[in-house]
Structure 1
Amino acid sequence: MPTPPASPLDNPHDVNLLPSRIPRPLQIAAVVVFVLGVLASGIFSFTEHWRRATFTLGVALLWLSVLRLTCDSKILGVLAVRSRTFDALYTALGGSLMIFLSSSVDSLGS
């Protein structure tokens, strides 16, 4: 089966990758879960629950690294910046550091 012509918005790093085996609606639902995690982190931040916000954002970034490895770039859109490997490692490292930060800082309350 011939490959459809590339759109100028396609990620050039993912041109030769096979499509994901995960059904499209499930991929979209997984991205929605990521967005809800980021929103929850923002709500925690606005309500001054900094450790919860940091932990939630870290978990969301770890989830994004899983999404980057398993979902199509067209589904992820602007969340797919570079190659799958680079994006997954970068978000996994960032998420791990956020989770470590949230667990290592003492709470201000007693």
Structure 2
Amino acid sequence: MLLVAAVLVVAAVLVWQDHWRRGAYVIGAAIVGASVLRLCLPAERVGLLAVRSRGFDVGAYCVLGVAIISVAGTINSLGVV
């Protein structure tokens, strides 16, 4: 959980510095990373990443992370890189 939280802090800093698109990519990557951690870690080590069953958590995290990355990739950056 701390690893995912650390990546989300990096994403928040990027958004705060007006790099919202990069920040959105990092948020999506953090959520996809959470799904990988939920899939690989044993139940006693997963901590707050466990909400429901393992399959539900992995599926929900993947769908949400890919959706955020897709939205960030399709929105025009209006000249901002």
Instruction: Please indicate the TM-score interval, normalised by the length of the shorter structure.
Output: 0.7 to 0.9
> Could you list the runs of 5+ residues in structure 2 that have no partner in the other structure?
none
- How many residues align structurally? 80
- Give distance in 1, aligned partners of 2:42 and 2:9: 23
What is the match of residue 59 of structure 1?
29
Q: Deviations over 1:20-39 (max 9, x none)?
A: xxxxxxxxxxx543232111
After TM superposition, give the deviation of residue 50 of structure 1 in Å.
Answer: 1.0
TM-score normalised to structure 2 length: 0.87
- Local SS of the residue matching 1:73: coil
Within-5 A mapping of 1:1-110: 31-109=1-79
Q: Report the alpha carbon displacement of residue 64 of structure 1 after superposing the two structures with TM.
A: 0.7
Gaps spanning 5+ residues in structure 1: where? 1-30
SS of residue in 1 equivalent to 2:56: helix
Bigger fraction of residues in helix: 2
Three-state SS of the structure 1 residue aligned to 2:34 is helix
RMSD of the TM alignment (CA)? 1.5
Distance 1:71 1:57 in 2: 21
Larger Rg: 1
Task: Provide the identity percentage.
Answer: 31
1:45 CA displacement: 1.6
Which contiguous aligned blocks of 4+ residues in structure 1 show a shift greater than 4 angstroms? none
Correspondence for 1:9: none
1:100 alignment partner AA: S
